[in-house]
Structure 1
């Protein structure tokens, strides 16, 4: 339960406490119930509620009879009271979403990540896309709370810098957060992509639905987001989740790190499609093997496997086996009970892989947890990292943090 304070100078914190309390109760609450749940006085709740009503962030939602006495007016979040923009910078595609206060996607766009283009030009394109999306969504710019960016690591979150992502050529020490904030005039938050996907699952799930889980991200690259006790795990440098070098097949292909059978190199979509082309399983595309060709190739492999093709089935069976080794390793280490799969390429292979991964994980002799591991697909869809980036903005605006009360000298 979030507790507030009745000290007048801390009204900003109390406002966020009340907003958070209303947000978490989908059916709305009366002022009396808000006071009971927050520990705030009736006068404080009344004053803050009036201000939130005037600002259009909450709204009155009729009356409800609660025990003895006259009906009480119910307050609920007004979804149109504010908006958050999420951007996912993937080596293959840049995805943009606009979320309302309820977390509903009200506008969406996906554009191929330009190749052989400097980061400065990509950032300028991001700015233009964000401005166009605000117009498309039909929202007042003054109600945009900020922009969240999900980017591949490693990152320096304190400085807002993209350090050296292995699959984003030319992005070495790019001050992405500052550059986009300056060009848009909006508050900008930066987060690692797999962590942003984890935040999306936490934000969109019901209480305790997602407490201790990993998010297995399957995009241009592979990564793992982590949550413990319903909190995203970021690590000492905010770069937790780089699972690409877990060895899952000692006889597998040689990775760029020099070892054999690393997870990321073994199962990345481009490698699977290239392997299928090399053996003649699928036709070689005209031109280079770009994002669209990888997507289409992966879909072809899955369709062949579903149709009973032995070669395609073997290729995806090996993929399921390698993913399962990594899942068991991480689940044992952190005592997790669920793995959620998602990312831009996951849905192409989900029907073939999901059930088999569940079988392999829970029958593995290496699994030492005292409970079965639940296996699920993200309900958010391909845009989970972009949605998570926007959720970071909503969380920053709507979730109370007692540390904000500390006054530094």
Structure 2
């Protein structure tokens, strides 16, 4: 089967134009030329191609400019879709988003942490298939799956470099085998980096800004985006803010470091502190044996919001530590915004936002040069899953990566580490049947 026509010519130029249209929501060809520096003739040709491919549609006339009203163009949100799969230690969240980044379907389930990957990945694949069917999304319009999880990772090989939740997950080829099960490309990504890029795609930050993201679920991670591109570092394991040392004489962390932020400010640490606080565990009905850390933490956060002094003290202590981490991020990367994303921030957002902002305002090195805003994620508790889907859209549509024939097996594409599934039937609209199996 021939490659999709959207990659027939000028992929980088097409990607640039498409990204400007996405960011503007609605824009004229004249404005596109001014924003990209391309000639009017090039803009007209590229927009025509994008319209022929169904990615862009005309959207009426613009406001008066003193001459003939300009015809506006915008993305066709239903033209393409991305799937985001977030595997956390206690839960799995799956979302489907359209080309505009809007969530059109969602599901979640628990139990992944108790399964070996050879059992967990087929379950994930079946849930993705069911969600696409429920949302009535055609498979030929799905660009791929962003599989997001905690680090460290080898994105090129598509494997996790951590024995969590169990040792069986270490070095297991999660991306390749999920791709084979689904017959769709799969991109492995860090959850914090995914959450960070989701803010860009949704228009929550300025297109050319440098901003950071602190992501907190059961653990703590970080990401930095510069002009729409995730800062990767040498191995795409950058900005692991949860594993900076807060105490050189602190306890050893499973990561190998000592005194890590996560062990002082993360949900697991707060649950331990609450269990050790006289009377608090009983008042909040905390379960010392509970495996679901996020549910136990949510009880602490709810009590803090309701005015329980002991619970609030624990959350505020965590927020001050995270404020120090935010100062470190601001000093290292000179960001102008830090987004707080993830389910743990969602349940106690007001306390964290207020105290982290206070620490940054007081302690940041460049505070006289510019302020740093601390803001909540526009994508809420599903920020990482939505960001995973968005990274697939960005990788396929705006970064100009060619798409191989649907029937061809391929190795990962460059640093992005896209793993391709195989189809027995590559016809448009046909159900995808994997040729491989999960073993």
TM range (shorter): 0.7 to 0.9
Contact 2:208 2:226 in 1 (8 A): no
Tell me the equivalent position of 1:384: 383
Please state how far the C-alpha of 1:362 moved relative to its aligned partner. Answer: 2.0
CA contact (8 A) 1:148 1:392 kept: yes
Q: Check if 1:315 corresponds to 2:314.
A: yes
Q: How far apart in 2 are the matches of 1:323 and 1:341?
A: 10
Question: Alpha carbons of 1:270 and 1:64: their partners in 2 closer, same or farther (altered >3 Å)?
Answer: closer
**What displacement does 1:236 show?**
0.2
Counterpart position of 2:342? 343
**2:305–2:348 Cα contact (<8 Å) kept:** no
User: Any idea what the Cα deviations from partners look like across 1:260-287, whole Å, max 9, x if unmatched?
Assistant: 6420111221221232123330235568
Matches of 1:210 and 1:337, distance apart in 2 = 11
Residues 49 and 377 (structure 1 numbering): CA distance in 2 closer, same or farther, change over 3 Å? closer
Cα contact 2:83–2:144 (8 A) shared by 1: yes
Local SS of the residue matching 2:225: strand
Q: Aligned partners of 2:66, 2:312: CA distance in 1, in Å? A: 65
Distance 1:63 1:325 in 2: 49
The 5 Å alignment of 1:13-162 reads 13-30=12-29, 34=32, 38=36, 45-46=43-44, 48-64=46-62, 73-162=71-160
Aligned partners of 2:44, 2:180: CA distance in 1, in Å? 38
Cα distance change of structure 1 residues 201 and 41 upon mapping to structure 2, 3 Å threshold: closer
Counterpart of 1:357? 356
3-state SS of 1:336 partner: coil
> Structure 1 pair 122/155, CA: closer, same or farther in 2 (3 Å)?
same
- Contact 1:83/1:99 (8 A) holds in 2: yes
Q: Is the 8 A contact 2:116 2:166 kept in 1?
A: no
Gaps in structure 1 of 5+ consecutive residues: 1-7, 405-409
Q: TM-score, normalised by structure 2?
A: 0.80
Distance 1:47 1:251, change over 3 A: closer
Q: Aligned partners of 1:213 and 1:72: how far apart in 2?
A: 34
Whether the 8 Å CA contact 2:218–2:294 is kept in 1: the answer is no
How far apart, in 2, do the equivalents of 1:221 and 1:181 lie? Answer: 26
Whether 2:287 is the aligned partner of 1:290: answer: no
Residue 368 to residue 38, structure 1, CA distance change in 2 (3 Å): closer
Cα-to-partner distance string for 1:339-385 (whole Å, 9 max, x where unaligned) = 21111211222222321222233223x74543333211111100111
CA distance in 2, matches of 1:209, 1:50: 24
Task: Kindly indicate whether structure 1 or structure 2 has the higher relative contact order, using CA contacts under 8 Å at least 6 residues apart.
Answer: 2
- Quote the offset at 1:182 in angstroms: 1.1
Partner Cα separation in structure 2 for residue 373 and residue 14 of structure 1: 33
Instruction: Tell me the CA shift for residue 308 of structure 1.
Output: 3.6
Secondary structure at 2:106 match in 1: strand
Contact 2:94 2:385 in 1 (8 A): yes
Where do 4+ consecutive residues of structure 1 move more than 6 Å?
Answer: none
User: What secondary structure does 2:9 align onto?
Assistant: helix
The structural deviation recorded for 1:49 is 4.0
CA deviation profile, 1:189-229 (whole Å, cap 9, x unmatched): 11111111111122222562672222111111111112235
1:65-115 Cα shifts (integer Å, max 9, x gaps): 776776554332111111111111111211111111111100111111423
Secondary structure of the structure 1 residue equivalent to 2:350: helix
Contact persistence 1:337–1:373 (CA under 8 A)? yes
Within the alignment, does 1:268 sit opposite 2:276 as a pair?
no
Segment of structure 1 superposing worse, 387-396 or 338-347: 338-347
CA distance, structure 2, for counterparts of residue 81 and residue 100 of structure 1: 8
**Is 1:199 the counterpart of 2:200 in the alignment?**
no
Q: Aligned-pair RMSD on alpha carbons?
A: 3.0
Q: TM-score, normalised by structure 1?
A: 0.85
Structure 2: how far apart are the matches of 1:207 and 1:243?
21
Alignment match, 1:331 = 330
CA distance in 2, matches of 1:17, 1:336: 24
In structure 2, runs of 5+ residues without a counterpart are 1-6, 404-439
Change beyond 3 A, Cα 1:230–1:18: closer
Contact 1:217 1:223 in 2 (8 A): yes
Contact 2:287 2:296 in 1 (8 A): no
Residue in structure 2 matched with residue 300 of structure 1 by the alignment: 299
